Chain A
Amino acid sequence: MANRTDPLARNVHGTNPQNLVEKIVRSKIYQNGYWKEQCFGLTAETLVDKAMELDHFGGTYGGARRPTPFLCLILKMLQIQPDKDIVVEFIKNEDYKYVRVLGAFYLRLTGTVTDVYQYLEPLYNDYRKLRRKLNDGTFALTHVDEYIDEILTKDYSCDIALPRVQRRWNLEASGVLEPRRSALEDDFEEEEEEKEEEDAEPMDTDDRHKEYYRGRSPTRERDRDRDRDRDRDRDRDRDRDRDRERKHDSYKYRDRDYDRDYDRGRDKDRDRERDRDRDRDRDRGRERERDRDRDRDLYRDREREREGGRERDRKDRDRGRSRSRSRDRYDRDRDRKRVRGSPSPQKEKKKEKREKKEKVTDGTDHPDPEIAEANRLRASLGLKPLKL
């Protein structure tokens, strides 16, 4: 009786709002002491009092997966379904950070996409510390803006599967949202002007590998543009046909290929690309003209990775055969031509050799196909190969 959703409550994402929490976790909450004692007969006002008493947040913990009070209050909010202005009040209040996080999480679960981005992005500026309870019962330190970033980008948090929200650049492209204006943007504009004066001479590749690199992209994007323009004509014919097919599916394949690029071990470029990914979400407004150039760069990066991978596999398989040797030389020439305007080929070759060595000890080339497949799975999970 006490666990039924308020009969006047609306459907959320097409279902009873309490069903956003999975059955097993929900049962654990219903059996919990905090729920039974404190959350009985709560209304929106009394819920605020309970929320102010929170001092940590998290999902379920321990071997028996006990829920935290935070999770119980979330389920209570889903049950009574407070009005949107009450939730916005939760988010806007400055004094109690856990009330803020509670409201933000509830809005993320129940709100529309525009609401989510509109109300949660101001919280990026809140840098206070939070105490988070982990799965094994210990506490960890995190910050409000870190957590907001997590719930906006990941699809699982605090043992609840978060409803899907579209990426920010999709919404900007369709005009629903304004491009994001970061609070730090003014500071970076100043730095950008300084950088422009310094970069009067043309860049060479070493500059890109300097130890110091800016976390945000504006200067780097411009330098990358200059190099990219230099190579564009040379590569255009070769890439044009391939690009035409790929452009259809660009958005579908984009994120997956980014993940593939991460695993390939291009350490120097990994941080740059990761920042580039984050930057795409943050500095969209400034980079609108450069979007097209970035797309072309992405394709070229992906193709280079694919070529490099194929060449590597061929080297492994056909080690002694002369046929592959001439083919490798042909590929190497093509790659060298294409690679001229990018991180130096020697560094890439070294990385290939290192990866080749790692692959050999992986056990993935075991004659027994079952064991080879098991080893491949273990390698993808980060475990050592099977000991036979």
Chain B
Amino acid sequence: MIEVVLNDRLGKKVRVKCNEDDTIGDLKKLVAAQTGTRPDKIRIQKWYNIYKDHITLKDYEVHDGMGLELYYN
């Protein structure tokens, strides 16, 4: 189980517990449950790399405590 921090730099900072083999799509669902936006409106990025929905966190090398950027579509 890892804990990922998502920050949208406008006031929303969300800590989400998830598994390493969860996909980005699952992570978006968990974030949506916590923030209240729809999961398909959320975009997760790291600098200019937009993270795709079907790839797991492990493959993106997202580790425990890592911060991701939260944007909206």
Asked if B69 CB lies within 8 Å of chain A CBs, one says no
Q: Which residues of A contact B53 (CB under 8 A)?
A: 136
Q: How many interface residues does chain A have, given as a range? A: 20 to 34
Cα A109 to Cα B21 in complex, Å, equals 40
Q: Which residues of A contact B29 (CB under 8 A)?
A: 381, 383
Contact of A386 among B17, B41, B50 (CB under 8 A): B17
Cα A381 to Cα B41 in complex, Å, equals 17
Asked if A63 CB lies within 8 Å of chain B CBs, one says yes
- Could you say which of A218-226, A260-268, A304-312, A370-378 contacts chain B? A370-378
Asked if B18 CB lies within 8 Å of chain A CBs, one says yes
Known: A63-B52, A377-B33, A381-B29. A386 touches B73 (CB 8 A): no
Cα A387 to Cα B19 in complex, Å, equals 6
Q: Is the CB of A383 within 8 A of B1?
A: no
Q: Is the CB of A381 within 8 A of B30?
A: yes
A114-138 interface bits toward B, Cβ cutoff 8 Å, 1 = contact, 0 = none: 0000000000000000000001100
Q: Is the CB of B33 within 8 A of A386?
A: no
Q: Which residues of B contact A65 (CB under 8 A)?
A: 73
Smallest beta-carbon distance B39→chain A, Å: 9
Asked if B64 CB lies within 8 Å of chain A CBs, one says no
Asked if A24 CB lies within 8 Å of chain B CBs, one says yes
Q: Is the CB of B17 within 8 A of A383?
A: no
Contact of B19 among A60, A370, A386 (CB under 8 A): A386
New A-B pairs, 4, CB < 8 Å, besides A24-B73, A135-B40, A386-B17: A24-B41, A136-B53, A371-B1, A381-B26
Chain A residues within CB distance 8 Å of chain B: 24-25, 60, 63-65, 135-136, 156, 370-371, 374, 377-378, 381, 383-384, 386-388
Chain B residues within CB distance 8 Å of chain A: 1, 17-20, 22, 26, 29-30, 33, 38, 40-41, 43, 50, 52-53, 72-73
Q: List 24 A-B contacts (CB under 8 A).
A: A24-B41, A24-B72, A25-B73, A63-B43, A63-B50, A63-B52, A65-B73, A135-B40, A156-B38, A371-B1, A374-B17, A377-B30, A377-B33, A378-B30, A381-B29, A381-B30, A381-B33, A383-B29, A383-B30, A386-B1, A386-B17, A387-B1, A387-B19, A388-B1
